[in-house]
Amino acid sequence: MTHWTAPASQGPIRATVRLPGSKSLSARALHLAAIASGPSRLHGVLDSRDTRLFAAGLEALGAVLSPVGRDPLSVTPLDGEREGSASIDCGLAGTVMRFLPPLAALSAAPARFDGDSAARERPLAPLLAALEDLGARISFEGAPGRLPFTIRGPLRVPECGWVEVDAGESSQFLSALLLTVPLLDAPLEVRAPGRLVSAPHIEMTVAALVRRGCRIERIAAEPHSAWRVEPGRPAPLDEVIEPDLSNAGPFLAAAMVCGGEVRIPDWPEATTQAGDAWRRILTAMGARCEREGAGLVLRGPEADALTGIDIDMSDIGELAPSLAAICACAKTPSRLRGIAHLRGHETDRLKALASGLRAAGARVVEHDDGLEIAPGPLKPAAHRAWGDHRMATFAAILGLRAPGTTLDDVAATSKTLPDFPELWRACVSSGRSA
């Protein structure tokens, strides 16, 4: 635990923040390189706890990778039948605990998955049930459908030619299947009945497969979504990973609540990242967002011109903690909807956000699937990160406007942004030198 006092605003922000690679794009690039038909070189892979655990998991399953942090990172794919048991530490990473079990189950050799104690609370059952339908055998050490468990394959396409997964709690269940089933020896239809969440992340998965020559086609839309996947290894690809636009959130938030402007270099012109939605959301709340060269510049609203928002976030749930902190600083109330699935994130984020916002002076109604936030005069509070990177950055944003705000564990940001404390201090102190 690294106790931290959040730096308070020094005046309008004038910062350029160069962000490391996207967690979600890094995981997909590593995964697909590890099952490709030849070696790949990846540029700009995020170096953080989640991606290190992801890479270590791939190595446990037989791929050979240069250390995360080396640029470019080379990946020699796994080859042939894995022998001997594997042990995979998921930490608190949804990508590791969801994307790697299907890959492990390609082999008859056992693979044991475990993670942080909070990871044992995160939902997995619908994915594991789908893997059992594809022939996996899974033994649970504790509660069924949770970590820790041991999985054995091999997976095979059932006679019916389809498998169903309920992805209403997490898009990662669906992405996990789509990322591995091209390695099965027959076409498979992957069905996901019902409401989907985090649609951009599903599009990101499909786009990553298509870029590597995989044949995948969406054959039905919500509420009976289905994809047909043809067998075939992905082609190797040398790829440059885009900056993490979700992690741009706290820095853009700094200009929203303190005024001034923040520049993010290399903001992609077209992307499947959920974080691209910041431009639309923050413009609706009073900012001006413009492209400038290859980057994005956000000019925060004038004092008193930051308005609240009523928004369905089912597609972009990972932006909710930063947005909730901005809403607490707005002039008018906000409503965040469609995010019941945040209760299965690193912590129950709706509960954690409601309590953090109340401690900071807002009035909050916690609904099953969202939050109503009525801003009040902000006050300093002792916030908890709950091991959650986005709860840590939520506290940092509130601290800008409430001097004396503390956080029990700023090191939680190492999940996706280990340099957060330094980047944040530089961003905030740009106000003083402006």
Ligand X SMILES: O=C(O)C1=C[C@@H](OP(=O)(O)O)[C@@H](O)[C@H](O)C1
Ligand Y SMILES: C=C(OP(=O)(O)O)C(=O)O
Nearer to ligand Y, 91 or 110 (CB): 91
φ/ψ of 422, rounded to 5, equals -70, -45
At residue 409, the 3 state secondary structure works out as coil
What residues between 292 and 321 interact with ligand X by CB under 6 A? 317-318
Piece in contact with ligand Y (CB under 6 A), picked from 90-98, 185-193, 292-300, 308-316: 90-98
Number of chain residues interacting with ligand Y (CB under 6 A): 8
**94 in a labelled binding site:** yes
Q: Which of 9, 40, 51, 95 binds ligand Y (CB under 6 A)?
A: 95
Residue 387 known to bind ligand: no
Stretch binding ligand X (CB under 6 A), from 60-68, 150-158, 168-176, 349-357:
168-176
Does residue 372 have a known ligand-binding role?
Answer: no
| Minimum CB distance to ligand Y, residue 54 (Å) | 10
198 binds, among ligand X, ligand Y, none (CB under 5 to 8 A by kind): ligand X
148: Cα separation from own chain's centroid:
22
Q: Are 79 and 37 in contact (CB under 8 A)?
A: no
The amino acid present at 112, given as its one-letter code, is R
Is residue 146 marked as binding?
Answer: no
Is residue 203 exposed (0-12), middle (13-18) or buried (19+ Cβ within 10 Å)?
A: middle
> Is residue 31 within the footprint of ligand X (CB under 6 A)?
no
Please provide the distance, in angstroms rounded to a whole number, between the alpha carbons at the two ends of the chain.
33
Q: Which does 175 bind (CB under 5 to 8 A by kind): ligand Y, ligand X, none?
A: ligand X
Task: Confirm if 362 and 400 have CB atoms less than 8 A apart.
Answer: no
Candidates 242, 261, 318, 372; binder of ligand Y (CB under 6 A) is 318
**Is there a catalytic annotation at residue 318?**
yes
* Interface with ligand Y in residues 23-82 (CB under 6 A): none
User: What are the φ and ψ backbone dihedral angles of 62, each rounded to 5 degrees?
Assistant: 115, -5
Amino acid at 385: A
Write out the E strands in 194-284: 216-220, 224-229, 239-240, 260-264
Q: Are 78 and 62 in contact (CB under 8 A)?
A: yes
Q: How many Å apart are CA 323 and CA 249, to the nearest integer?
A: 8
Whether 172 has a binding-site annotation, put simply, is yes
Backbone angle region of 385, left / alpha / beta, with phi > 0 → left and psi within -120 to 50 → alpha: alpha
Using CB under 6 A as the binding rule, whether residue 347 contacts ligand Y is answered as no
| Catalytic center residues | 318
User: What residue ranges bind ligand X (CB under 6 A)?
Assistant: 24, 27, 94-95, 170-172, 175, 197-198, 201, 317-318, 341
Residues lying near ligand Y in the complex (CB under 6 A) are found at 93-95, 318, 345-346, 390, 416
- Binding-site positions: 23-24, 28, 94, 122, 170-172, 198, 318, 345, 349, 390, 415
